[in-house]
A and B are shown apart, each in its own frame.
Chain A
Amino acid sequence: MNSTATAFIRPRRPARLGRLGATGLGFALPVSLFLLVAFDVPVLMMFGWALTSAKGMFAPFVEFFTRPAYIKVILNTLRIAAIATVSCAVLGYVLAYWLRSLSGTARLVALTLVVLPFWVSILVRSYAWIVVLGNNGVVNRALLDLGLASEPVAFLYNDLGVVIGTTNLLLPFLVLPLYAAMIRIDGRILQAAETLGASRWTIFRRIFFPLTVPALAAGMVLVFILTLGFYVTPAILGGGRVPMVANMLDMLINRLPRWELASAISILLLILTLLLHLLYVRLSRQAGN
């Protein structure tokens, strides 16, 4: 029954596929419509608040640029994002390199451990850092007991706390694509270099590393973009001392409520993110080649 039905339908399928799939539009249409109605239109309406403010068309933008506090928060966000990106890149590169050297089961186990944190909520993981790094936490107690510190080290409630938390959360976003790029490198190229007498360091520096740079750069841009929007981590691990743009927007939207200004800041943030995204697309295309 089943097979006759399939046989009956089969001849017609290529034609239909051709019509739908010629541009791919047919497949993308339902989800595009959904996104248009459920996401794009609301976002545009949100932009409307900044442009139709009672005080004048661009009043919220003028307010943003004439109040140093808001610009400083944005700059601080960029600074934290840059630090988190660099720490992700350094740790992530070493981790991906090590993953590549593993074989079989060990590699599977290690990869699972990298992905595992994805299944735990951001909130829980951020709070977990308090248990680990707080004054009364595991690390500080060990440091004090071993006599390595005379008073608890302030890991939390400062820039360091936010960077630690952010790096932990975003590391997989960098490690996984980087690891994928590393295992794509043809081992024979490296062997060829070796037979020509290159040292291991020279091989890494002149062949291996340059081949991974596009993937590394793409991962770094991705981490940077994601850090720009971080809310939970600075709120919990920053102790209210590390002002970031998402937390400022929360205040403008929920507490004050000054949606016009929040909308203007969101527009500027979106423009910045889109520019970074363009960079990301270019870099990941290069990494793909």
Chain B
Amino acid sequence: MIFTKRQLLKNSVGLVAVSALGLRAGQSRAAVSEFRMIEAGGASGESIEKGYIAPFTEKTGIKVLRESPSGLGKLRALVESGDNSVPLLEVGSPELYQAVALDLVEPIDWDVVNPDPIFDEAKHEYGFGYQYYSTVMAWGEGQRAPKDWAEFFDPEALPGKRSLPDYPSYILPMAALAAGGSIENVYPIDLDKAFESLERIKDSVSVWWQAGAQPPQLLQDKEVQYAASWSGRVAGAPGIEFSYQQGLLDLAYFVVPKGVDPELKKAAMGLLHEMSVAKNQAVAADVISYTGPSTELEQLLPQDRIGEFPTTTANKSVQMFNDGQWWFENADEVEQRWQEFKLTL
């Protein structure tokens, strides 16, 4: 699934012609007054608005237009159609490696970003890791708490309906862990074992969710008793308990679509700088309990609900970190086996 440049060019000629008719926005100008960004949407989008865009616009006068949702499909469409008006687009960690391999992104200008101190994994050549989020076990109030994924994946030990992500990269590590092993050696994932765990539990799974809003709603409606959910969706939600124990920590990145207007890119690097500032990250974390990459963020977070955040020292130490490189290398096999598994439901 790797494209040669010529291939991309050939396919995009027509689209370029169409976009030349007037779809192009944000032409190269001396002074940038606004740019577009594509992000995940929802409360996460609001956290970007309050935490980062607000101080950025105040400083520079540049407006930022948010669009959502994001995805590799949109990135590919932007690049192949020659639309150069979007300097920032959000991707998950497995998508980052795929975007690089497909030649859809250009390097971050780290000299211009000039970030405050942030964790190393957030400083990727092609991506600015701006937001940590976890996939965690959650359950309805009053249910017995699972002590680990092995118990979560055992419908006899822990009776009740489940809701699991309809995304292999957010559930296979847990499924592998349920079959034995520890969070340190979950990668490389043993796919046979992981799918065995899923086979064992599939009859108890009512809903394979695609939207992050689904699991908290399903738990509150008592449609399911247990769910694997994104942490920010269940942290502080009424009637829901959750645990970071063996959670899957992940980092969302902003990338720069290839061929973007250089002026817009330069302006966007200024917004990335705002994303590295601990004070701004604390504001964003107040909107949704995902955390930015600053090494100094922990003491700025509200201490009364410090347990809600995925990257505090206590929470980070009990979780495993998602390995985007592994997902990228095994994408084809995973996708095929996932599709086949889903057909046996």
Contact = CB atoms under 8 A, between A and B. Distances in A.
Contact of A243 (B1, B18, B210, B343): B343
A5 B309 CA distance: 76
Interface in A85-123: none
A37 to B, nearest CB: 9
B71 A254 contact: yes
Interface in A56-80: 67-70, 72-73, 76
Interface in B145-164: none
Given A136-B223, A256-B335, A235 B210 contact: yes
A155 to B, nearest CB: 11
Contact of A253 (B73, B223, B339, B342): B73
A255 B15 CA distance: 21
Q: Which of A52, A69, A239, A241 has the most CB of B within 10 A?
A: A239
Contacts of A48: 11, 14
Interface in A126-158: 130, 134-136, 154, 157
Nearest to B10: A52
Contact of A241 (B208, B221, B339): B208
Given A240-B166, A241-B208, A243-B342, A135 B73 contact: no
A45 B14 contact: yes
B201 interface: no
Given A69-B343, A239-B206, A240-B209, A45 B222 contact: no
B11 A254 contact: no
Given A68-B340, A69-B336, A241-B345, A54 B3 contact: yes
Given A67-B336, A254-B71, A134 B223 contact: yes
A67 B339 CA distance: 10
A23 to B, nearest CB: 30
Interface in A231-256: 235, 239-241, 243, 248, 253-256
B221 A257 contact: no
B228 to A, nearest CB: 13
B221 A135 contact: yes
B183 interface: no
Interface in B218-248: 221-223
Contacts, number: 77
A49 interface: yes
Interface in A28-61: 41-42, 45, 48-49, 52, 54
A169 to B, nearest CB: 20
Interface string A195-217: 00000000000000000000000
B76 interface: yes
Contacts of B72: 254-257
Contacts of A19: none
A224 interface: no
B222 A136 contact: yes
B342 to A, nearest CB: 6
Interface string B1-14: 11110010011001
A76 B343 contact: yes
Contact of A54 (B7, B74, B166, B340): B7
A258 B342 CA distance: 19
A72 B71 contact: no
A157 B76 contact: no
Contacts of B14: 41, 45, 48
A45 B336 CA distance: 27
B64 interface: no
B207 interface: yes
Contact of B76 (A41, A243, A257): A257
B178 to A, nearest CB: 20
A259 interface: yes
Contacts of A68: 340
A258 B343 contact: no
Nearest to B6: A54
Contact of B339 (A52, A69, A135): A69
B206 A54 contact: no
Given A52-B10, A52-B11, A240 B76 contact: no
B223 A255 contact: no
A52 B14 CA distance: 14
B217 to A, nearest CB: 9
A157 B11 contact: no
A50 to B, nearest CB: 11
A69 B340 contact: yes
A258 B3 CA distance: 11
B73 A254 contact: yes
B151 to A, nearest CB: 23
A253 B74 CA distance: 9
Given A45-B14, A135-B222, A240-B208, A259 B76 contact: yes
List the 7 closest A-B pairs by CB distance, nearest first: A240-B208, A254-B73, A239-B207, A69-B339, A257-B73, A240-B166, A241-B345
Given A48-B11, A241-B345, 6 more contacts: A52-B10, A130-B221, A134-B221, A239-B206, A243-B339, A243-B342
27 contacts: A45-B14, A45-B15, A48-B11, A52-B11, A54-B7, A68-B340, A69-B336, A69-B339, A72-B343, A76-B343, A135-B222, A157-B206, A239-B206, A240-B209, A240-B210, A240-B342, A243-B339, A243-B342, A248-B339, A253-B73, A254-B74, A255-B71, A255-B72, A255-B73, A256-B331, A257-B76, A259-B76
